[in-house]
Amino acid sequence: MARYVALLRAIAHVPMLPLRDSLAELGFTDVESHGMSGNLMFSVEAGSAGAFEKQIGKRLETEAIIRTASQLAKVVKANPFARRQGASLYFLARAPSAAKRREFQGLDFEAPAPVLSGKTVFIVHPSRLKGRKGPFDFEKFLGVPATARSAKIVERILEVMAEKPAPARKPVKKK
């Protein structure tokens, strides 16, 4: 049994009980939420993150970005801005194309410049291009669905997942 988090896009200040119930109806177990902004932790016997994203996204009618506890732990450990005021992360549904990554690296951001790593963008909010007043639209520029969370929230989600790890699998006896 594996433990996952579904990071829902465009969900803020809504009751989580109906969302937890929807995941349970889909067959996920140990469904929990953190906060009121679409952070749903769950366990499941088998399947792929991509299949879960489609299944949950269709049911809840919003983008669902799925990460395992170990993936989330790696992101937390890799965050170059972890202890800074305004540290946030954008979780991308998939890695941007090589062309978009190269184009992104050439952009002139105010300091500190965001860091794109695989399917995550690390930022200090607000992240702006030099000479611009508004925040940068990572999702639009990269052409990839994304959802943002503060670094503190991501760390707390990881703590919650660690408090209730997925049940250990029973060893299979060899004959």
Give the mean pLDDT of 45-67: 88
Whether the predicted pLDDT of 147 surpasses 60: yes
Q: Tell me the pTM.
A: 0.86
Give me the percent of the chain exceeding a pLDDT of 90.
57
User: Phi/psi of residue 59, each to 5°?
Assistant: -65, -40
| Whether the bond into 126 is cis, omega within 30 of 0 | yes
Whether the predicted pLDDT of 134 surpasses 80: yes
- Residue 51 CA to residue 30 CA, distance in Å, equals 19
Give the mean pLDDT of 106-119: 96
Determine how many CB atoms are found less than 10 A away from the CB of residue 52. Answer: 19
Q: Which residues of 72-111 are buried (b: 16+ CB within 10 A; e: fewer)?
A: beebbeebebeeeeebbbbbbbeebeeeeeeebeeeeeee
User: Phi/psi of residue 18, each to 5°?
Assistant: -60, -30
What's the start-to-end Cα distance of the chain, in Å?
23
Give me the chain's average pLDDT, please.
Answer: 88
